[in-house]
Amino acid sequence: ATQYNHSAIEKKWRENWEEKPINVNDGRKEKYYCLDMFPYPSGSGLHVGHWRGYVISDVWSRYQLLKGKYVIHPMGWDAFGLPAENYAIKMGVHPAKSTEANIRNIKRQIKQIAAIYDWDMEVNTTDPDFYKWTQWIFVQMFKKGLAYEKEFPINWCPSCKTGLANEEVVNGCCERCGTTVTKKNLRQWMLKITAYAERLLNDLDKLDWPEKVKKMQTDWIGKSYGAEVDFPIDGREEKITVYTTRPDTLYGATFMVLAPEHALAKSLATDETREAVEKYIFDSSMRSNVDRMQAKEKTGVFTGSYAINPLNGAKTPIWLSDYVLADYGTGAIMCVPAHDDRDFEFARKFGLPIVQVIAKDGKEIENMTEAYTEANGIMINSGDWNGLESAVLKKEAPYMIEEKGFGHKTVNYKLRDWVFSRQRYWGEPIPIIHCPKCGCVPVPEDQLPLKLPEVDSYQPTGTGESPLAAIDEWVNTTCPVCGAPAKRETNTMPQWAGSSWYFLRYVDSHNKEDLVSREKADKYLPVDMYIGGVEHAVLHLLYSRFYTKFLCDIGAIDFDEPFKKLFNQGMITGKNGIKMSKSKGNVVSPDDLVRDYGCDSLRLYELFVGPPELDAEWDDRGIEGVSRFLNRFWNLVMDNKDKDVKASKEMIKLRHKLVYDIEYRFNQFSLNTVISGFMEYNNKLIELARKEGGIDKETLKTFVILLAPFAPHIGEELWQQLGGTDSVFHAQWPECDEEAMKDDEIEVAVQINGKTRAVISISADSSKEDAIAAGREAVKEKMTGNVVKEIYVPGKIINIVCK
């Protein structure tokens, strides 16, 4: 028989699919939308790690195809962003040029995978026909009051004189020059994602997503219940309002801490403390939030002022410290060192009093070495609250405080509004015009897209403005409302903008009138399965959910969650778990592997390396194993295809078990065990074929269909060899008949010392050990003495001899 020649077969079927697409929409089939997180077209191209996610999604898509669905499986490019812009600054190449070249290259590489992408749907976020709608969405948000301007601190490199994205700040320093990064206040556009906080939180319940990701989103939104409590300042009119989730500990509040940015911070200083206070405020302004949160040592300064605990009238010193964030809660806290870790550390460092108010068994701890942070115990040192259960008090205290008139209960979210502008060139221009009379006016919708103009220099301007600010003829325009001279907004959108809604566009990517027609949206959306890396668990997925809800609210679409099901694949790493990267020199390119073993083998190996949700170390040598399997399976089919063997009972049983096992593992997304399952069953079939003189066609065909989503070329070829005239992907996914899978049962008598005591039914091919074990179990109550001998007459009798 002919040998398995992967290059010839793969070439043949590529051409075939090109000519006669296998995934066609006949308008009657149920749709299934399987989406990949679209890539950033970087200059370095694809390595074997990138293949993994694309193979997983293609295998899943082809499976749906075999289940009779019309599969929407698109691909596109998330092509705005920093690398292209930085390359432009360095090399003077227009980002559009380098982006186009990169896309061409990556597209060629992606085609090697042989995924069933529908290239007619392709989108590119930098294409004006696409970003017209990214801008349109912004205008709609602006009209609804969800896009607004605000002064906001950005990362700033004082040496490069430019704003920096978070990813350009490495250990607090500028990635380009190493200078310590500071903050600079700039006017920014913000999106009011906080208006959707509650829905973003509650609707997580609707989603079939990994619990881990839901938890990350829940924590990011960060809803907490507590109270705002007013502390009068000793000797002054003003009050300081604190946010606390633990009003039950109010008697234990021995000092207060304000964020250095707090409006009252400076004014609380006395003559003795002024110098130290002002220095502390200045120093803190130079540190980033992350830095402040992660600082090993607490720092702080006493203001010299005191506040009055509204509950017991105690005088509590007011401090400043940057572990209190300015933009969370009220930017001021009451400190309960006995029951909060950070407060405890602070009190220890600065010698402040620690008063325990919750005691586990009502007993005070003698020498506290750490805070007692559990919220259950009995109240002590708490006036008329003494003796109450803290867990109960925690819930009631906000109401009691409200009643006493020095505070009220409240809810807080960690989620902040989204800083939506960038002082960069390579992004969507924000379609706003600043008119001296009319204020901010959106660019009229019939003038969208507002195209990015050509610039001479991509270099940041040094003032914190985008390079667009340097093009006078672009900046100067007239107000669309009153016609007066006006100026264009020169900030651009962040890279997230296009990726927050691109999945809607695929299903109607050529539409000139709408972002997506309602008809197509209703028919083909939302996404049924979304596959991508876990690094996008929070931001991208949260932004997409926000955009979808907004577009639903304005009636553009009719659903408010974009991705029904989510799967996060793990990373493929180099040796010792090190991330594959050019700079580390450990990148494995798929090209040689495809040439030597074929696309099908590489596809199988991508899945065989380990559970798809976990990281896996790459080792080229492993591909030999899957390649050997494909060769053996090839030979099995070729040797048996013309034999006309009738299936034995055993063969039928094996066939149904095969279907059952593979489908079960497939549905569990345990793709690596699907591949090992193929190998096991291939061995079993080879053995059975040897025993019975061959394998029937039905069994061979069944195996070929199951294998086809994973190794589509060999699948098609063997299907044809077995007499298939149409594509294997138009065959029926095999059904498992659980009855046929069952082992035959037989009845056996169980005897004790030759006397029948029970009759049991066991599987016909039970081993001697299994049969005897089942027999002993059935008569265990009737046995006396010790077992001296056990006899099994296959299919008839089990005799247990006791003495």
Task: State which of residues 153, 329, 427, 598 lies at the interface with ligand ANZ (CB under 6 A).
Answer: 329
Binding mask 207-236 for ligand ANZ (x = CB under 6 A): -----------------x------------
**Dihedral sign (CA 359, 365, 368, 369):** negative
Residue 257 or residue 433: which is nearer to ligand ANZ going by CB? Answer: 257
Residue 450's nearest CA partner among 470, 466, 427 is: 427
Q: Shortest approach of Zn ion to residue 446 CB, angstroms?
A: 18
From 132-140, 329-337, 594-602, 639-647, span contacting ligand ANZ (CB under 6 A): 329-337
Q: Determine, following the binding rule CB under 6 A, whether residue 412 of this chain makes contact with ligand ANZ.
A: yes
**Dihedral sign (CA 49, 53, 56, 59):** negative
Exposure string of 388-413, with b = 16+ CB inside 10 Å and e = fewer, is: bebeebbeebbebbeeeebbebbebb
Strands (E), 367-505: 378-379, 407-412, 418-419, 432-435, 439-442, 476-478, 485-488
Q: What's the rounded Cα separation, in Å, for the pair 390 and 378?
A: 6
- The listed partner (Zn ion, ligand ANZ, none) that binds 435, CB under 5 to 8 Å by sort, is Zn ion
Give me the residues that bind Zn ion (CB under 5 A), please: 435, 437-438, 479, 481-482, 484
Number of chain positions touching ligand ANZ (CB under 6 A):
17
Q: Determine, following the binding rule CB under 6 A, whether residue 249 of this chain makes contact with ligand ANZ.
A: yes
Q: Determine, following the binding rule CB under 6 A, whether residue 292 of this chain makes contact with ligand ANZ.
A: no
Instruction: Enumerate the H helices of 668-748 as residue ranges.
Output: 671-692, 697-707, 712-721, 738-741
What part of residues 308-327 is at the interface with ligand ANZ (CB under 6 A)? 324-325
Task: State which of residues 231, 243, 280, 524 lies at the interface with ligand ANZ (CB under 6 A).
Answer: 243
- The listed partner (Zn ion, ligand ANZ, none) that binds 481, CB under 5 to 8 Å by sort, is Zn ion
From 237-245, 453-461, 586-594, 789-797, span contacting ligand ANZ (CB under 6 A): 237-245
Q: Determine, following the binding rule CB under 6 A, whether residue 262 of this chain makes contact with ligand ANZ.
A: no
- The listed partner (Zn ion, ligand ANZ, none) that binds 245, CB under 5 to 8 Å by sort, is ligand ANZ
Q: Determine, following the binding rule CB under 6 A, whether residue 38 of this chain makes contact with ligand ANZ.
A: no
Q: Determine, following the binding rule CB under 6 A, whether residue 753 of this chain makes contact with ligand ANZ.
A: no
Between the alpha carbon of residue 557 and those of residues 147, 500, 548, 618, the distances in Å are 20, 14, 8, 42
Task: State which of residues 78, 340, 561, 717 lies at the interface with ligand ANZ (CB under 6 A).
Answer: 340
From 241-249, 593-601, 622-630, 695-703, span contacting ligand ANZ (CB under 6 A): 241-249
Residue 48 or residue 397: which is nearer to ligand ANZ going by CB? Answer: 397
Q: What's the rounded Cα separation, in Å, for the pair 714 and 500?
A: 38
Residue 148 or residue 413: which is nearer to ligand ANZ going by CB? Answer: 413
**Dihedral sign (CA 308, 313, 317, 321):** negative
Q: What's the rounded Cα separation, in Å, for the pair 32 and 71?
A: 5
Task: State which of residues 160, 186, 336, 448 lies at the interface with ligand ANZ (CB under 6 A).
Answer: 336
Q: Determine, following the binding rule CB under 6 A, whether residue 10 of this chain makes contact with ligand ANZ.
A: no
Q: What's the rounded Cα separation, in Å, for the pair 539 and 170?
A: 20
Residue 47 or residue 262: which is nearer to ligand ANZ going by CB? Answer: 262
Residue 229 or residue 443: which is nearer to ligand ANZ going by CB? Answer: 229
- The listed partner (ligand ANZ, Zn ion, none) that binds 438, CB under 5 to 8 Å by sort, is Zn ion
Q: What's the rounded Cα separation, in Å, for the pair 348 and 174?
A: 35
Q: Shortest approach of ligand ANZ to residue 226 CB, angstroms?
A: 6
Q: Determine, following the binding rule CB under 6 A, whether residue 385 of this chain makes contact with ligand ANZ.
A: no
Q: What is the DSSP string of 155-214?
A: EEETTTTEEE-GGGEETTEETTT-PBPEEEEEEEEEE-GGGGHHHHHHGGGG-B--HHHH
Q: Shortest approach of ligand ANZ to residue 616 CB, angstroms?
A: 36
Q: Who contacts 140 (Cβ-Cβ below 8 Å, separation ≥6)?
A: 550, 554
Task: State which of residues 339, 549, 603, 656 lies at the interface with ligand ANZ (CB under 6 A).
Answer: 339
Q: Determine, following the binding rule CB under 6 A, whether residue 305 of this chain makes contact with ligand ANZ.
A: no
Q: What's the rounded Cα separation, in Å, for the pair 356 and 397?
A: 17
- The listed partner (ligand ANZ, Zn ion, none) that binds 603, CB under 5 to 8 Å by sort, is none
Q: Shortest approach of ligand ANZ to residue 113 CB, angstroms?
A: 44
Q: Determine, following the binding rule CB under 6 A, whether residue 427 of this chain makes contact with ligand ANZ.
A: no
- The listed partner (ligand ANZ, Zn ion, none) that binds 340, CB under 5 to 8 Å by sort, is ligand ANZ
Q: What is the DSSP string of 780-797?
A: TTT--S-EEEEEEETTTE
Residue 131 or residue 152: which is nearer to ligand ANZ going by CB? Answer: 152
- The listed partner (Zn ion, ligand ANZ, none) that binds 365, CB under 5 to 8 Å by sort, is none
Q: What's the rounded Cα separation, in Å, for the pair 560 and 548?
A: 5
Q: Determine, following the binding rule CB under 6 A, whether residue 22 of this chain makes contact with ligand ANZ.
A: no
**Dihedral sign (CA 119, 533, 537, 425):** negative
Strand-pair category, 527-533 with 563-569? parallel
Q: Shortest approach of ligand ANZ to residue 239 CB, angstroms?
A: 16
Residue 331 or residue 431: which is nearer to ligand ANZ going by CB? Answer: 331
Q: What's the rounded Cα separation, in Å, for the pair 89 and 99?
A: 14
Q: Shortest approach of ligand ANZ to residue 420 CB, angstroms?
A: 23
- The listed partner (Zn ion, ligand ANZ, none) that binds 437, CB under 5 to 8 Å by sort, is Zn ion
Residue 415's nearest CA partner among 703, 193, 613 is: 193
Q: Determine, following the binding rule CB under 6 A, whether residue 121 of this chain makes contact with ligand ANZ.
A: no
Task: State which of residues 155, 188, 244, 303 lies at the interface with ligand ANZ (CB under 6 A).
Answer: 244
Residue 3 or residue 373: which is nearer to ligand ANZ going by CB? Answer: 373
Q: What's the rounded Cα separation, in Å, for the pair 11 and 15?
A: 6
φ/ψ (deg, to 5) at 484: -70, 155
Q: Shortest approach of ligand ANZ to residue 153 CB, angstroms?
A: 16
Residue 373 or residue 761: which is nearer to ligand ANZ going by CB? Answer: 373
- The listed partner (ligand ANZ, Zn ion, none) that binds 479, CB under 5 to 8 Å by sort, is Zn ion
Token code pair at residue 746: 């037989």
Q: What's the rounded Cα separation, in Å, for the pair 647 and 697?
A: 8
The amino acid occupying position 549 is K
Segment (H or E) for 303: strand 301-308
Q: Shortest approach of ligand ANZ to residue 608 CB, angstroms?
A: 44
SS3 768: helix
Between the alpha carbon of residue 213 and those of residues 217, 367, 411, 628, 758, the distances in Å are 6, 41, 23, 38, 54
Q: How many CB atoms lie within 10 A of CB 531?
A: 25
Q: Who contacts 17 (Cβ-Cβ below 8 Å, separation ≥6)?
A: none
- The listed partner (ligand ANZ, Zn ion, none) that binds 9, CB under 5 to 8 Å by sort, is none
Exposure string of 234-247, with b = 16+ CB inside 10 Å and e = fewer, is: eeeeebbbbbbbbb
Task: State which of residues 214, 236, 328, 688 lies at the interface with ligand ANZ (CB under 6 A).
Answer: 328
Q: Shortest approach of ligand ANZ to residue 416 CB, angstroms?
A: 12
- The listed partner (Zn ion, ligand ANZ, none) that binds 336, CB under 5 to 8 Å by sort, is ligand ANZ
Rg of the Cα trace of the chain? 34
Q: Shortest approach of ligand ANZ to residue 341 CB, angstroms?
A: 9
Query: What's the start-to-end Cα distance of the chain, in Å?
Result: 63
- The listed partner (Zn ion, ligand ANZ, none) that binds 187, CB under 5 to 8 Å by sort, is none
Q: Determine, following the binding rule CB under 6 A, whether residue 337 of this chain makes contact with ligand ANZ.
A: no
From 90-98, 240-248, 272-280, 301-309, span contacting ligand ANZ (CB under 6 A): 240-248
Q: Which residues of the chain form contacts with ligand ANZ (CB under 6 A)?
A: 224, 243-246, 249, 324-325, 328-329, 331, 333-334, 336, 339-340, 412
